[in-house]
Structures are given as C-alpha cells and as structure tokens.
Structure 1
C-alpha cells in the first residue's frame, strides 16, 4: 500500500475545496445569467411597445396575418422573433405582426405569461395602452422557449470561463503548494539522513521559524541520546569490571574443588563459590534495575504517592534478613510524605539502601528508616548499638559493589531529588534522599 504524502493530502483538500467553491460560483452565475436574461427580455418587450406607441405619425394598417420575417433578415445571434398585436378601444385587431396566436382582448396592462394556440404554448407578453383615453392597445409577445434559449445561452457564456479557468487554477495551486512544501521536504530528507549514533547534529540553516523549533528539538534529543549512551557505556564498563572478579573467582575455586582438598578447604571453596555467585547475581540485578530506570524515565507518567507506606513495605520485606543477621529494623518520623514521581523506581532505590545497610552492618545494629515531611526527605541510618570500635570492613561479609548507590543516584536524578551521605556519629552511617520542588 502506497503511503500518503502531505503534498497529496494538501492538494486533495485544497482542490476539493476549490471545486466546491467554484461550482457554487458557477451555479450562482447560471442562476444570475438566467435571471438577467429574463429581465433583459422583459425590458426588450417593454421597449418595443413604447417604441410602437411613440410613432404618432404612422397609421396602423388594417388587420392582416403577417408571416414571420425571412431568415436572411436576422442579422444578430440574439435577435428575437417578437410578435405584435394592436387593438382599438373596442377590442378590434388593428394590426398583427409575427407568428404568435392572437390573444384574447382585455384592458389590463403589464407583463404576463399566457398559454396560446393549439396545442397551447407559453408566451411572455407585455401590454400597454397608448394614452389615458385608451384609444389603442399594443401587446408585444415572445415565445417562452425562445426566451429560455436566450437566457441559458447568456448564462452559459457567463459560466463557461469558470470551467476553463478551474484546471488552470488547479495546476497553479498544485505548483504553488509543491514549491511551498519544498523546505519541509528538505527537512524530512535531513532527518532521514541523520545518524544519531554518530552524534551528528541536524543542520540549522532552515529559514522558517517553525522548522527551527523542530530542528532544535531533534538536536536536543540527539544530545540527550548521546549523553545517555555515554552513561550506559560507562556503566557497562564498570559492570563488566565488577563481574570479571567474581566470575574469575568462581572459575578458580571450581577448579580447586576438583583437586585433593581437605574437608575444611573444600567447605571454604564451596562457600567462596556461593559468595561470588551471589556477588555476580547482585551485579546483574543492578544492571536490570538501571535498565528499568531508563525505560521509566522516558515512558512512564509520574503520579503522586505517599512514601511512608512504601517505606513500611520495604522494611517488611527485609525482616527475615535482619533476623538472620541479628539486626533490627525501624521506621520513624512523619506519618506521611507525598511526592510526585515513579513509585516503583523509588522503591527500588530504597531497597538498594536497605539491602546495602543490611549487608554492611554488623550484628546488633539498628537500621532505621526516618521520614521528615517538613524537610521533605527520607534517610536510612545504620546505628551500631555496642561499646568499642566498629568491626573492620574485612571482617564483615559484604556483597555491595558500590553500584547500589549508582542506582539510587540515577533514580533520584529522574525525580529531581538529591542523594547524599549525612555526617553522623562514630557508630552511625546515614544516607538521605531529599525531594525538591520538582518532586513535590
């Protein structure tokens, strides 16, 4: 199926509208032509009657039948075959010229349409007395068919130029529209040749203001696309680097399991394989999370929602993990905090913070999620509740790769918020998400 073009669409509508308007003008022209021809004929009848009555010095001959004038006496295309009847005041026919039947005598004056002859035919007539004394009455007659022929001939002459001009105007309009759409065609070709992967910008030499807005929008999208691709390439490189270490460790310990190992070394190798497998799985999970964030930023519509129920749900999902690690979870602060954004993405970011806290905190640690409606922030605090120094990082089983915070940073950036670490006491770590006006 051939795709419709804008040129054909515009031509169809413009020429269709032109044809409708033109036909309307032609119809009005035909109607006006017929009306004016009728008026012209009536005026001719009245003029002929006045001319005959004004000839005072000419005596009317006795009544006689006069044949129609010879064809060679007609010298003009619009010459009409009129008939004239003259009566005296008693109704006697004094003179008769033309082939019209003699109409019945009456004393009326003016225009009339009479059916005369056998079979009857319509005639247009005009009657008039010569003076107030009513000595002579003149009637001038013309066949309706002849009058209509003249009317339609005049109307046709009026309307005919319109039918000849319509194709010419259609061709001129088609050329003008095609020429006027040439800049749009050039812009379309430039967009079709544009390679956003190479970072090439659309040329900005289009003179029309409407096209400048389109060019600027396309170039802005190209810049955003390049920036997004750069971020994704950087992240992919970091993920590949992070995956390389656990995968190499898994392969090394898997080979060691095939050798002669003591029971303790075998258990250690198996635990290391399981640990590295979890680490690789976490890297892949972060990759999927970032992919979902990119999709949501472009496709999903932001809505208003309450952060507190979401925070409670996240903590509830991690209760068993906290019990297994001999840690505690708590939710405190404001009863509600409404923001506008993507609830799923913020939940993913909050889960990353909670999971990171559970993975890094030693036993006997309170992990508290605090909400402040006035300050429009929520934060996750790790508070170690024992005397002495906090355990060294090497002594804690950590699966965090630093990628969890990258997920959080990307999600909060989508929502116009900020993510930062807040300075706390020696045994506390605090990470806060602050919502600004854009997320309110």
Structure 2
C-alpha cells in the first residue's frame, strides 16, 4: 500500500533534518572546543606550577615522594579536576634538587617550554613544561602530567559542555513540531474548505485567510470555480440548443417519411424526397457540430497552445473546399498578405475556418463569391460573401408536405464562438467590405497586450 505524502510530515522531516545537522555540527564543534580548551587549561596549570616552584628556594635534599600521603589531601582524590602533577628541579649542573610525584626519572636537558616525553619502561607519554630561573640558569624546573590523565580531564570537560545538547534536541524537536503544526492550521482549514466544495455547484471560498500565500490560492480557486461554473452553464445551454435543433430535423424526417409513404408518385413525391434529403443533411450537420464542440473541449483541456501560422491553415482549408465550391457553382478565394503568426490550437482554428466556409457555401446560392480574408496587423480573420439578402417569404409547401424551418447558421457559429473564446478572441458579424454583402469575423487579442 502506497502511503500518501503529507505536507506536514514532509515539512517536519526537512526541519528536523536541518536541526539535526546543525545540532550535530555544534555538538562536534563544542566537543572539540572543550578538548582544546581543557588541553590549554592543563598546559596553563603546568606553567603556573613551574613558575611557583621557581619562586621557591628548595633545600638541596634530593628526591621527595608523592603528595598523596600529605595530611588534608585525601578529600581531593575524588575531585573531578584533581591532577597528579610531578615536579623535578635541577641545578645548573643537571643534578636533581627536588623530585616529587609519580613521574619516572626525567633526563636532564638544556631546553625549556612544552614538550611530550616518553618515560619509563614500558614508555608512557607525559606532558611536560620546563623553565629556567632566568638568564643565570642556576635552576631548572620541569612539571609533568600523564597524557592519559590530561586526556581524561579534557574528555570530562568536553562531555560536560556537550551533555546539555542531548537534552536540548528532544525539547527543540517537540517545540518545532508543535510550532509547525500550529503554523499549518490555516492550510488544514483551507484543505477542508476545498474538500467541501460541490463540484456541480461550486461556491466561492469566503473564510478569512490572512496569510498572503493562502489568499493567492483562495483567489485562484475562486476564479477557477467561477470559470468552471460559467463553462458548465455554457455547455448546458449549448447542449440544450443543439439537442433541440437535432430533435427538429429528426422529427421532420419521421413526418416526411410518413408523408412519402402515403403520397402518390408525382411532383409532391419528388418534393418530399428533396425535403427528406435536406432534413437528413441538417441532422448530419448538427451531429458534426456536436462532435466539433466535443473535440474543442477535449483539445482545450488536453493540449497546450503552440506557435502557428494562421495563413498556412487558411490556405489548406480553402484548398480543401476548392472542389466543393466548384461543384456548387461558388467562387472561393483567399485574400492574405502573408504569414499570420500566433499562439493557438491548429486543429481548432482549422475547425473555425471550415465552419465559416461551409456555412457560406451551404447557405448562399450558386454564383456567390466567398472569400476568406486575413489581416495580421489588425489580428483578425473573416469570411465574406456576395449573396443577395432576400426579404420575400418562402414558397409555400405543396399539399401534404410539412416544411421544416432550420435554425440555419446557429450551431456552426456556436462552435466558432467556443473556439474563439478558447483563444481569447471574439466572434462577431462585421460590416461587409466593399463588394460583399455579409461578413463574419474572428478578432484575436494583440499578442503584445497579453
């Protein structure tokens, strides 16, 4: 089972990981600093003891034993910072004047300062500090401390410095987790409100969201809900209109078929066949428009716009309808100054031109000139024709013939309107240019203004 990812858990994981990294770095650095400072402290003690010893004037008696047997010092043996230092004092000739502590015999040398000596058998490391009493070099003092004891003290001090960090981490994790959870409460509220939205009747989100990031999300959701509702309303309205328009020719087909069965052979019989053919073509046209609308909706959701040349699309569509225009007795042409570059869906723009050209050829008499016109500067395409507009009433139908009045250009133009809206354009009936009587235009937004 695949676990769902959580923003809270992801944020906590990243925050805790960052905290752990920083905490670990500070812990290591603090431990190393503690060890270094403890070593410096020990060296300072060695130097201090040497200077104190130089300030004394010891008797020339030889070696003195350890200080552990001295009265009053037994209570210091358990002290954390007690150090067993050894002191050796020589005269200028290298003879020992004093030696105390647990250190083995130390070879005499003329050098002074800090050094690490290997003494005894087997050899053991000792930290030593040597100092002469001055330019006269009459007395030399060396103070020694076992390296193991020095390291134990450094480790103890470093651990004492680092120990609070182990207690601090759980407290910091708990406090950080509570803070993240509290800070994300508006996000939880927004998620609940979005989850409660009715997809069929989405209402805007009205809850207060003071955070700037959430206000942007809320505004986007409200805008999307409004657009979705408007799109659903348009689709329902369009589907209702097209369904009505489809029922009309289907009902007419039924009536015409019934009348054709009862009509006697003759002129009325032929007229019924013509009307039957027209109704069948009309039903096919409505179905084609429904398929075009479905294709436009699918393209709008599934495909991204691309750079295209509308002039090339127009030339291809005009060439495709060339034979149909010739067969119907129309004159079909294209007027374009050249490339018309824009962002869009080539398939849908081809549907626009196809619908406009097909409507012009289908609803104008033979001998009409139909011209596709493009203007890249003004950002529009239009289809114009020279058909004369007649106001005479239609011829009466023969006896027994039920005439069907089609809605004409409505369905095809609704397809063009939808595709134009997808491209941020508007579809309108424009004033016909000189020499033409009717013009339908699609005006695209200026790319520089988008």
Provide the TM-score with structure 1 as the length reference: 0.89
**What is the root-mean-square deviation of aligned Cα atoms in Å?**
3.0
Question: Is 2:154 the partner of 1:151?
Answer: yes
Question: Is 2:248 the partner of 1:245?
Answer: yes
Choose from 323, 326, 329 the match for 1:326. 329
Q: Which residue of 1 aligns with 2:36?
A: 35
Segments of structure 1 that go 5 or more residues without pairing to the other structure are none
Closer/same/farther in 2, CA of residues 238 and 394 from structure 1, 3 Å limit: farther
Q: Which residue of 1 aligns with 2:235?
A: 232
Closer/same/farther in 2, CA of residues 163 and 333 from structure 1, 3 Å limit: closer
Shift of residue 89, structure 1, vs aligned partner:
2.0
Structure 1 residues 21-420: aligned runs within 5 Å: 21-56=22-57, 58-60=58-60, 62-64=61-63, 66-67=65-66, 69-70=68-69, 72=74, 74-75=76-77, 76-256=79-259, 261-262=264-265, 267-373=270-376, 375-384=378-387, 400-415=408-423, 416-420=425-429
Shift of residue 159, structure 1, vs aligned partner:
0.9
Shift of residue 31, structure 1, vs aligned partner:
1.1
Q: Which residue of 1 aligns with 2:400?
A: none
Structure 1 residues 5-20: aligned runs within 5 Å: 5-20=6-21
Distance 1:41 1:375 in 2: 89
Shift of residue 297, structure 1, vs aligned partner:
3.9
Shift of residue 23, structure 1, vs aligned partner:
1.1
Distance 1:297 1:275 in 2: 33
Distance 2:435 2:97 in 1: 139
Closer/same/farther in 2, CA of residues 338 and 133 from structure 1, 3 Å limit: closer
Partners of 2:416 and 2:427 within 8 A in 1: no
Deviation by residue 1:374-419 (Cα, 9 ceiling, x = unmatched):
544433232259xx97986659997835212222233333332442
Choose from 401, 412, 428 the match for 2:437. 428
Aligned length: 436
Deviation by residue 1:191-219 (Cα, 9 ceiling, x = unmatched):
11111421311124111111111111111
Q: Which residue of 1 aligns with 2:446?
A: 437
Segments of structure 2 that go 5 or more residues without pairing to the other structure are 397-403
Deviation by residue 1:99-145 (Cα, 9 ceiling, x = unmatched):
21111112222221110101010111122233433333222111111
Distance 1:390 1:328 in 2: 24
